[in-house]
Structure 1
Amino acid sequence: MKVAAIQMVSCTRLDDNLRAARALLEQAASAGAELAVLPEYFCVMGHKDTDKLALREAPGEGRIQHFLASAARELQMWIVGGTLPLVATTPDRVRNTTLVFNPAGDCVARYDKIHLFYFDNGREQFHEGRVIEAGNTPVQFELPSRDGHCWRVGLSVCYDLRFPELYRAHASAGADLLLVPSAFTHTTGQAHWELLLRARAVENLAYVLAPAQGGVHENGRHTWGHSMLVDPWGTVLAQQDQLAGVVWGVVDPQRLRDLRLQLPALSHRVL
């Protein structure tokens, strides 16, 4: 199955971000991708965290969700909408939510980011918990590909990548493809991004597809980029360092089966 990780450098304007996302999704569809995944915050990288409040949508309503559903239907492709802000249980918070749309334009899965990023090195400070309300439930969905394999796909977002328990829960539920839409900072990404992605792939003998924000944004934030596809052996099959673009690759069910047969580590777990 051909897959695409969409890398963006999202700005503060929703309309511009949706236009950019549509153009990149069209590139993915033209190349034959069955699945395209947008990065975290594809719809907005605001000047401040509270900018997300103005864009929050109710489930099933709003411009961003309409955009994703229409794109999936018109391009006949599975689209995972990076993340977008949905209403939370309190008016001063949003959920940082991944929505999955099938080629009919139906929303078939929702995942709310569980782990909220905090980082303060004296020069940069990030505190997602000030505006985002955490989710608490791992989510997988099934994606029947044209080659006859039904992929079980585990959802995660950015900072979740540092918590292997989530990915082990996905593997225990049968996941063989893990998605990680992200907006890693340049500082943390340079140190840990590839290391963590390859570790999650190897630990769970699964493919990992990780689209990212990659560049310098209007708000001054510098994201690491390096969107990539990693195979179950930990090999990086494709990646792009910075700027907007599409990272292509193929996830091969036969290679997945071969590697899991050669090294059946998932069945050797004791704890």
Structure 2
Amino acid sequence: MTRVALFQATTGIDPEANGRALTKAIEDASAGSAEMLFTPEMSGLLDRDPARAAKVLRAEDEDQVLAACREAAARHRIWLHIGSLAVLVDNGKVANRSFVIDREGRVRATYDKLHLFDVDLPTGESWRESNVYSPGAGVVLVNGTPVGKLGLTICYDLRFPGLFAQLAEAAADVIAVPAAFTVPTGKAHWHVLLRARAIEAGLFVVAAAQVGHHEDGRNTFGHSLVIDPWGEVLLDMGEEQGLGFADIDLKRISDVRARIPALNHRRPIPQAVTL
């Protein structure tokens, strides 16, 4: 049995303040006997004003939030999955990048969000991630974490089940889905999609989420979740900021897959034929 913690945050436009909140969450997660802490997408900065954000964005090796989190993870002897940070990359754009950090404070893996969210919503909200962000190019699975083999995704990746299938076929035990879901899409799709991904892949899903009204004007859905391979919700953090804890028993994966061995029954899908 592995105890994990999730930090449900209302990240703002000041990286220094966000970094303090993260390091406090790391301290509290360790004090709560968690072996690994999961944080949301955009844990270091959440700002939809590109001109303002540009003033504080840094490359990975200069990011002060990342440095503070690495130091705190080492000090409190806890693994950390930073759901993502916005970091500058060589092409002049920004990567939406996850970090897995071990209890020595070493970065063990990174993952850049593959699927970018470009949409005009009926509420009048408009999002164009591709204007700012550079998409990732690879699928990442991390060995040796306290939760076994950890597959990495970010937010909008949730809507692409092929990614989750690939991680499951690569023997992932847990898939992380850090997010900053909008309220309308969260109400409609968050729970059902996460439960579906866990059931389809026959593994645990850990989804740390942003929540509430943010300094940049957006509202996020919250409801950070831990879901087991049967689709049972082990933790739902609702709409409040703070830490939540859950216990993950990896033996549950083999129990569920023995009952529904869908992964063993996968066949190559032939090309569709229009008749």
TM-score of the two chains, using structure 2 as the length reference: 0.92
| RMSD over aligned Cα atoms | 1.4
What is the match of residue 110 of structure 1? 110
Q: State the Cα deviation string for residues 7-28 of structure 1 (Å, max 9, x = none).
A: 0001111111111122222221
Question: Is the partner of 2:142 in helix, strand or coil?
Answer: strand
CA–CA distance in structure 1, aligned partners of residues 194 and 53 of structure 2: 27
Amino acid at match of 2:32: A
SS in 1 for 2:175: strand
TM-superposed deviation, 1:136: 1.5
**1:144 CA drift (Å):** 4.4
Whole-angstrom CA distance in 2 between matches of 1:59 and 1:15: 15
The superposition leaves residues 206-232 of structure 1 with CA deviations (integer Å, 9 ceiling, x where unpaired) of 100000001011121010000010000
Q: Equivalent residue of 1:119, what SS?
A: strand
Corresponding residue of 1:196: 193
> Where does the alignment leave 5 or more consecutive residues of structure 1 unmatched?
none
SS in 2 for 1:171: helix
* Cα distance in 2 for residues equivalent to 1:144 and 1:11: 29
Cα contact 1:118–1:126 (8 A) shared by 2:
yes
Aligned to 1:162: 159
Q: Residues 63-111 of structure 1, C-alpha deviation per residue, up to 9 Å, x if partnerless?
A: 12211211110111110112112222322x1011001100011101010
TM-score (ref. length: structure 1): 0.94
The aligned counterpart of 2:272 is none
Indicate the SS of the match to 1:96.
strand
Match of 1:114, SS state, is coil
Identity of aligned residues (%): 36
Work out the CA distance in 2 between the residues paired with 1:52 and 1:140. 30
State how far apart, in whole Å, the 1-side matches of 2:5 and 2:135 are: 27
Which stretch shifts more, 157-166 or 81-90? 81-90
Given that 1:50 and 1:131 are in contact with CA atoms closer than 8 Å, whether structure 2 keeps it comes out as: no
Q: Residue 5 of structure 2 aligns to which amino acid in structure 1? A: A
Does the Cα contact within 8 Å between 1:213 and 1:225 map onto a contact in 2?
Answer: yes
Which sits farther off after the overlay, 69-78 or 82-91?
82-91
Contact 1:9–1:243, Cα closer than 8 Å, also in 2: no
Q: How many residues align?
A: 266
- Closer, same or farther: CA 222–31 of 1 in aligned 2, 3 Å: same
What does 1:22-101 correspond to in 2, within 5 Å?
22-91=23-92, 93-101=93-101
Extract structure 1 runs of 4+ deviating beyond 4 A: none
